[in-house]
């Protein structure tokens, strides 16, 4: 927990300057901020900045830390110079002699630089290594090995590798007992030594060394190893550094240049621009050497080198753009690209490219590199507003002529065309609302053409790849469904023709885009099975039928509720979809899946009956008759998150094989014992006996009489319920959104500074499956081993408080029937709602409630997890999950976060949120508005440890918000159709629920604007109480607040969110049942 340690360190505030600098340097190293650590170590070693003599051990740590930073930053000459200078200060040494403490760093710098004469003196002199740690001995052993390879001494290579492995294994044996994360660096060293061992054998073999070396570096083993490892923010790591040295020894400048290019690219992405610039310069030099080397080379090699030089220029241009030098970047990236290329037709462009690859005066470059350069410069021109629409479109057309099958080009072109569409809407719409938007779309031919063109490119990008799935597919469907929903009062031939063309385009995409991509957008498609345009409705049904036929076991759970909808039209459409899918399966000879779809009606009827079953008062369980299904229940995919979610790997490859997890336990039969939960809605807990998928796939029949058998692997639990007021479809859609967000957390990349450490945090939302059976009934995946936050507080006690103290037990906090507690809180509220004095209300809330009912949740983790490692992991899981839910909850306006809607996994400590009916700031319209961004009450702060919200929670919340803001476009693309879903009512209040369709659309647009603002750093959660109640404790000028329009940095936004969530002035305003003291 580095964030917590840093927070404690900052609060300790040591008075001695050297101690403070050493702590700052250590903090920067923990965060991976090597530049910051280097500066701190330099200050620590600068005698002019020290009031006294630095302690010997501190000076030694500072010296080694400085050299470590220089090595990480690739400043290898500086390492040798500094190492010699440090040794000279302490010892009377000859030139290029080093002290034992400094020797390992100098050794690594020497072999990485290829200074073999210096390395020879470093490894051959006698040094006392008895006081060295395992890492220092490893550095020396590896240095001796590299020196032996250079000198062609195979016996010494074997000895060096043996010593190095012994050093690694001595450290790995202790690290492996802790965690894989601690073991990872040592495993990577073993991989490194394996590569060195193999390449040394290549150098000593009798075959052609160059050909054998090239053959190895072209092998899958070489490539796969680099794919599996994780480079640090410098873009490098031990394996890459070793490969550079070996490439130099093998005299392979082209390979060396490729490695430098990769390092430069990753360092740029990590924000280490000096490292990136140095690496790209080294790459350019290596490629130039490869191009001019006297050895005979073929044309393909020359082409590869020259194309690589073009890639170096592209990366250098991206670097210049990253540091704000846009003009320089554009000049670099568009160098040698004539302006006339954007007006060329296909034949002229082919001629130009052909000439470019023949003419010695024009740099050799592939179509791919040329198109990448043009696309990148075009995106910069678009973002900077430096070119007009027609010029930008010409550039995109040129890119697609050069690379017609490039997914990214089609996606960005479609995105740009959509931006032109939105700009034209704004220009032509006088009122700027969605009603006039439809009128504009109905009458303006340019808008219609833009809609067609954007859908065409979005669809084409989805045919070619899946990288932009969660942006392209929602936008494609939204534009298509909106455009074809326009009904013209008078016959508009142009509109009807374009609508027909749009539907024809969608029909072709339905055949070409893989079904598992459409599966991710099933809720959006299901919301429009009834559509104003008959052809659109047919296309929706066509897509749903193909998805259901391709993945019947999974899609059945999403589509099944339509057959039981209150709308007869939906019932009829659903029946056609299921019959159509069954026909396709019958043609394919898949009788089992066809029968399963037919039997799904029986299963849904059974579950709906359970959901609507009225149990007798005070009954906790009933015994039901177990139904028999044909085909057997084991053939149905269980409605759980793991089985119904597309695997991440399926979204990173074009093949649809193994789209869903292949090994998921199957339900064999239901348990006849149906439990009745005692909450207000009285949901039913349904259990099923499960068998492994391997057993279920056997042709032999399994008993289905509701009795456990030996092949069972356990039970699977579900919650079957009927909603009286809420809508389970909201919960289902929120879970879909959470799954997208989890993919964003998994795919986030490293950056410089503190975020390099934070990007390794295990950030995720605990999700569960919510399957709708009808509009008001559903089956939810049971979340095992969970209890509500309130119940855990009630069962906890503080052992450090005397047994007769009122502060000992949490029961006092969680007991809502305690009239004294409720009355004390309501008296505090009256000071604001009646006497209009919020400051006094907050003060009394702290004195009469918070100080009288102290938090105890800190002790629950200690009492529940007696093992120190388990305790630390559980508390970390709680803190991380609470931070992620806080970030996501604030962005989507998730309210009603009372202590019963937050569950805690009692085995892992992880937070699980439930009940998502109150979203999109609906909580602000409750009788007592929920005016806080998320729950961060005293017992939650107590759970985080001694630093409270500071430390790990703030670090995780910062990383979560950074990830969400960075992926703003993706989230808005997913949320917009969610908000505009015509079958789900997202209105904020009952009066708004009765509003017209146009007002609902306007409300959705307003909600999108609020979410967009939060993803830009605006804290726009405005307290409605301040409009109703004129405060008497502040002057009118104090009430002026422009925070709702101010864009904050990620860190500033996080601090604002925490401040508002913990503000006593906000907590005292919430409903008493929310229990803000817990």
- Per-residue pLDDT reduced to its tens digit, 626-679: 888 888 899 999 999 989 988 877 666 555 567 888 888 999 999 999 898 877
Q: Among 166-180, 226-240, 896-910, which range has the highest average pLDDT?
A: 896-910
Residue 752 pLDDT class (50, 70, 90 cuts)? very low
**Is 522:545 a contact under the CB 8 Å cutoff?**
no
Say how far apart CA 331 and CA 336 lie, in whole Å. 9
Question: Closest Cα to residue 586, out of 616, 554, 552?
Answer: 552
249 pLDDT exceeds 90? Answer: no
Give percent of the chain with pLDDT exceeding 90.
38
CA atoms within 13 A of residue 723's CA, in its CB half-sphere: 21
Specify the pTM: 0.83
Give 1041-1059 pLDDT, tens digit per residue. Answer: 566 678 899 999 999 999 9
Mean pLDDT confidence for 795-800: 89
Residue 347 pLDDT class (50, 70, 90 cuts)? confident
C-alpha distance from residue 258 to each of 111, 217, 293, 303, 309 (Å): 19, 12, 16, 14, 10
- Residue whose token pair is 């702290």: 846
362 pLDDT exceeds 70? Answer: no
For the residues of 241-299, what is the DSSP string, one character each?
HHHHHHHHHTT-HHHHHHHHHHHHHHHHHTT-HHHHHHHHHHHHHHHHHHHH-SS---H
Give percent of the chain with pLDDT exceeding 70.
87
Counted residue by residue, the chain has a size of 1078
The two tokens of residue 528 are 């429009």
296 pLDDT exceeds 60? Answer: no
pLDDT at 1038: 47
- Residue whose token pair is 């550079």: 244
pLDDT at 938: 94
Give 481-501 pLDDT, tens digit per residue. Answer: 989 988 876 777 888 899 999
Residue 649 CB neighbour total at 10 angstroms: 11
587 pLDDT exceeds 90? Answer: yes
941 pLDDT exceeds 50? Answer: yes
Mean pLDDT confidence for 1014-1034: 86
pLDDT at 255: 86
Mean pLDDT confidence for 154-172: 91
In angstroms, the first-to-last Cα distance of the chain is 25
Say how far apart CA 346 and CA 333 lie, in whole Å. 23
Exposure string over 930-942, b if 16+ CB within 10 A, otherwise e? bbbbbbbbbbbbb
Give 589-611 pLDDT, tens digit per residue. Answer: 999 999 999 999 999 999 999 98
Say how far apart CA 516 and CA 547 lie, in whole Å. 7
pLDDT at 992: 45
More confident residue, 320 or 17: 320
pLDDT at 361: 45
pLDDT at 254: 87
Question: Closest Cα to residue 1013, out of 1047, 1051, 1062, 985?
Answer: 1047
Say how far apart CA 350 and CA 345 lie, in whole Å. 9
Residue 750 pLDDT class (50, 70, 90 cuts)? very low
Q: What is the largest CA-CA distance in the chain?
A: 99
Residues whose CB falls within 8 Å of the CB of residue 231, separated by 6 or more in sequence, listed in order: 237, 240, 263, 266
Say how far apart CA 429 and CA 450 lie, in whole Å. 16
C-alpha distance from residue 521 to each of 443, 518, 917 (Å): 30, 5, 21
The three-state secondary structure class of 12 is helix
Mean pLDDT confidence for 280-301: 76
Identify the H or E element spanning 811: helix 811-814
Residue 51 pLDDT class (50, 70, 90 cuts)? very low
Say how far apart CA 74 and CA 275 lie, in whole Å. 7
Q: Among 201-215, 302-316, 384-398, 497-511, which range has the highest average pLDDT?
A: 497-511
Residue 302 CB neighbour total at 10 angstroms: 13
pLDDT at 300: 72
pLDDT at 24: 79
Residue 692 pLDDT class (50, 70, 90 cuts)? very high
Residue 996 pLDDT class (50, 70, 90 cuts)? very low
pLDDT at 991: 44
909 pLDDT exceeds 60? Answer: yes
**CA-based R_g, the chain, Å:** 33
Give 410-439 pLDDT, tens digit per residue. Answer: 999 999 999 999 888 888 775 545 456 778
358 pLDDT exceeds 70? Answer: no
**Is 944:950 a contact under the CB 8 Å cutoff?**
no
- Distance from CA of residue 829 to its chain's centroid? 40
pLDDT at 760: 67
Give 798-851 pLDDT, tens digit per residue. Answer: 888 888 788 888 888 888 888 889 999 999 999 999 998 999 999 999 999 999
Name the DSSP letter for residue 778: E
Residue 926 pLDDT class (50, 70, 90 cuts)? confident
pLDDT at 960: 93
Residue 73 CB neighbour total at 10 angstroms: 21
For the residues of 685-702, what is the DSSP string, one character each?
EEEEEEE-HHHHTSSS--
Say how far apart CA 1005 and CA 431 lie, in whole Å. 14
- Residue whose token pair is 């805690």: 904
Find out whether the peptide bond into 631 is cis, omega within 30 degrees of 0: yes
Name the DSSP letter for residue 904: E
Mean pLDDT confidence for 553-580: 92
Residue 312 CB neighbour total at 10 angstroms: 24
Say how far apart CA 521 and CA 111 lie, in whole Å. 54
Q: In what order do the strands lie in the sheet with 786-788?
A: 786-788, 902-905, 911-913
C-alpha distance from residue 240 to each of 185, 253, 270, 657, 1038 (Å): 14, 15, 16, 33, 58
SS (H, E, C) 560-581: HHHHHCCCHHHHHHHHHHHHHH
C-alpha distance from residue 83 to each of 35, 123, 229, 626 (Å): 18, 15, 30, 78
The two tokens of residue 963 are 């990830």
**H helices within 466-612, ranges in order?**
469-483, 493-512, 515-519, 522-526, 534-550, 552-559, 568-587, 591-611
- pLDDT, mean over the chain: 84
- Cα-Cα-Cα-Cα dihedral sign, residues 859, 860, 865, 866: positive
- Cα-Cα-Cα-Cα dihedral sign, residues 945, 951, 952, 954: positive
- Residue whose token pair is 């009956």: 609
228 pLDDT exceeds 80? Answer: no
pLDDT at 944: 92
Say how far apart CA 740 and CA 730 lie, in whole Å. 16
The two tokens of residue 755 are 């975020």
For the residues of 837-870, what is the DSSP string, one character each?
-HHHHHHHHIIIIITTS---HHHHHHHH--SHHH
pLDDT at 687: 93
C-alpha distance from residue 426 to each of 231, 447, 494, 976, 1036 (Å): 45, 11, 22, 18, 36
Exposure string over 344-371, b if 16+ CB within 10 A, otherwise e? beeeebeebbeebeeeeeebbbbbebbb
User: CA-CA-CA-CA torsion for 536, 538, 539, 544, nearest 10 degrees?
Assistant: 130
Say how far apart CA 725 and CA 730 lie, in whole Å. 12
5 pLDDT exceeds 80? Answer: no
Mean pLDDT confidence for 399-410: 93
pLDDT at 359: 47
Say how far apart CA 191 and CA 12 lie, in whole Å. 41
The helices-and-strands tally (H runs, E runs) of the chain is 50, 10
């Amino acid at each position: 927990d580095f964030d917590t340690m840093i927070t404690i360190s900052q609060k300790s505030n040591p008075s001695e300057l050297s101690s403070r600098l050493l702590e700052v340097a250590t903090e920067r190293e923990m965060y991976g901020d090597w530049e910051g650590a280097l500066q701190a170590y330099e200050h620590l070693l600068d005698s002019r900045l020290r009031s006294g003599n630095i302690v010997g051990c501190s000076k030694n740590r500072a010296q080694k830390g400085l050299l470590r930073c220089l090595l990480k930053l690739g400043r290898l000459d500086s390492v040798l110079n500094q190492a010699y200078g440090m040794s000279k200060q302490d010892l009377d040494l000859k030139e290029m002699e080093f002290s034992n403490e400094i020797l390992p760093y100098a050794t690594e710098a020497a072999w990485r630089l290829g200074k073999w004469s210096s390395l020879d003196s470093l490894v051959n002199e006698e040094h006392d290594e008895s006081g060295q740690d395992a890492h220092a001995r490893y550095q020396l052993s590896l240095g001796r090995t590299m020196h032996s390879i250079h000198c062609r001494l195979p016996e010494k290579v074997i000895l060096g590798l043996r010593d190095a492995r012994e050093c690694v294994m001595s450290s790995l044996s202790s690290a492996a007992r802790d965690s894989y994360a601690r073991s990872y660096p040592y495993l990577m060293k073993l991989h490194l030594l394996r590569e060195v061992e193999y390449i040394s054998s290549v150098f000593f073999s009798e075959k052609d060394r160059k050909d054998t070396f090239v053959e190895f570096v072209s092998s899958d083993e070489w490539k796969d190893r680099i794919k599996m490892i994780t480079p640090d923010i410098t873009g490098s790591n031990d394996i890459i550094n070793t490969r550079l040295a070996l490439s130099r020894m093998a005299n392979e400048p082209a390979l060396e240049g490729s490695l430098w290019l990769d390092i430069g690219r990753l360092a740029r992405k990590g924000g280490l621009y000096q490292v990136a610039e140095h690496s790209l310069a080294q790459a350019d030099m290596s490629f130039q050497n490869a191009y001019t080397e006297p050895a005979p080379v073929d044309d393909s090699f020359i082409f590869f080198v020259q194309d690589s030089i073009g890639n170096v220029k592209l990366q250098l241009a991206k670097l210049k753009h990253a540091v704000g030098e846009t003009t320089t970047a554009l000049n670099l990236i568009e160098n040698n690209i004539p302006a006339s290329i954007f007006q060329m037709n296909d034949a002229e462009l082919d001629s130009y490219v052909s000439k470019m690859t023949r003419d010695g005066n024009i740099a050799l470059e592939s179509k791919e590199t040329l198109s990448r350069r043009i696309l990148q410069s075009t995106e910069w021109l678009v973002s900077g507003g430096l070119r007009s629409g027609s010029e930008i479109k010409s550039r995109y057309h040129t890119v697609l002529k050069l690379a017609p099958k490039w997914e990214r080009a089609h996606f960005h072109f479609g995105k740009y065309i959509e931006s032109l569409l939105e700009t034209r809407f704004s220009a032509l719409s006088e009122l700027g609302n969605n009603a006039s938007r439809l009128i504009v779309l109905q009458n303006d031919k340019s808008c219609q053409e833009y809609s067609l063109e954007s859908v065409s490119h979005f669809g084409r990008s989805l045919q070619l790849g899946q990288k932009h799935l969660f942006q392209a597919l929602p936008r494609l469907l939204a534009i298509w469904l909106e455009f074809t929903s326009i009904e013209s009062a008078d016959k508009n031939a142009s509109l009807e023709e374009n609508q027909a063309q749009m539907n024809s385009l969608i029909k072709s995409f339905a055949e070409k885009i893989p079904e598992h991509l459409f599966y991710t957008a099933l809720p959006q498609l299901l919301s429009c099975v009834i559509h104003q345009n008959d052809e659109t409705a047919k296309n929706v049904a066509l897509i749903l039928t193909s998805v259901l036929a391709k993945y019947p076991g999974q899609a059945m759970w999403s589509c099944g509720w339509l057959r039981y909808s209150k709308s007869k039209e939906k019932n009829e459409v659903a029946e056609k979809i299921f019959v159509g899918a069954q026909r396709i399966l019958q043609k394919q000879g898949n009788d089992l899946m066809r029968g399963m779809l037919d039997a799904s009606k029986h299963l849904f009827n059974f579950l709906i009956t359970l959901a609507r079953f009225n149990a007798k008062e005070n009954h906790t369980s009933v015994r039901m008759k177990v139904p028999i299904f044909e085909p057997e229940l084991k053939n149905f995919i269980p409605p759980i998150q793991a089985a119904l979610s597309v695997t991440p790997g399926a979204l990173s490859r074009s093949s649809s094989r193994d789209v869903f997890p292949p090994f998921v336990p199957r339900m064999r039969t239901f348990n006849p014992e149906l439990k009745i939960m005692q909450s207000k809605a009285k949901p039913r807990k349904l259990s099923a006996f499960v068998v492994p998928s391997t057993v279920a796939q056997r042709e032999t029949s399994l008993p289905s009489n509701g009795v456990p058998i030996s092949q069972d692997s356990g039970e699977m639990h579900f919650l079957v319920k009927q909603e009286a007021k809420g809508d389970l479809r909201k919960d289902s859609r929120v879970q879909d959104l959470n799954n997208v967000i989890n993919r964003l957390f998994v795919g986030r990349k490293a950056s410089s500074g503190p975020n390099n450490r934070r990007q390794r945090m295990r950030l995720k939302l605990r999700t569960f499956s919510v399957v709708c059976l009808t509009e008001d009934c559903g089956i939810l995946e049971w979340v095992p081993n969970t209890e509500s936050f309130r119940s855990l507080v009630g069962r906890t006690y503080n052992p450090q408080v005397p047994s007769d103290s009122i502060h000992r037990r949490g029961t006092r906090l969680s007991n809502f029937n305690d009239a004294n507690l409720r009355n004390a809180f309501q008296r505090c509220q009256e000071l604001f709602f009646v006497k209009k004095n919020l400051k006094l209300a907050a003060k009394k809330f702290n004195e009469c409630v918070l100080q009288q009912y102290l938090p105890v949740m800190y002790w629950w983790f200690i009492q529940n997890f007696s093992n120190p490692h388990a305790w630390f992991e559980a508390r970390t899981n709680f803190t991380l999950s609470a931070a992620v839910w806080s970030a996501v909850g604030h962005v989507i306006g998730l309210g009603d976060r009372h202590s019963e809607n937050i569950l805690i996994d009692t085995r892992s400590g992880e937070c699980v949120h439930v009940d998502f009916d109150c979203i999109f700031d609906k909580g602000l319209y409750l009788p007592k508005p929920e005016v806080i961004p998320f729950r961060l009450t005293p017992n939650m702060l107590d759970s985080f440890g001694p630093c409270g919200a500071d430390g790990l929670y703030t670090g995780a919340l910062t990383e979560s918000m950074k990830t969400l803001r960075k992926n703003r476009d993706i989230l808005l693309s997913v949320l917009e159709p969610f908000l505009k879903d015509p079958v789900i009512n997202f209105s904020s209040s009952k009066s708004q629920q009765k509003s017209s369709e146009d007002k609902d659309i306007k409300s959705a647009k307003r909600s999108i604007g609020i979410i967009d603002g939060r993803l830009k750093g605006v804290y726009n959660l405005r307290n409605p109480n301040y409009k109703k109640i004129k405060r008497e404790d502040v002057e009118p000028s104090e009430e002026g607040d422009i925070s709702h329009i101010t864009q904050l940095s990620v860190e500033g936004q996080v601090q604002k969110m925490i401040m508002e969530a913990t503000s006593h002035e906000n907590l005292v305003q919430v409903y008493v049942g929310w229990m803000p003291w817990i």
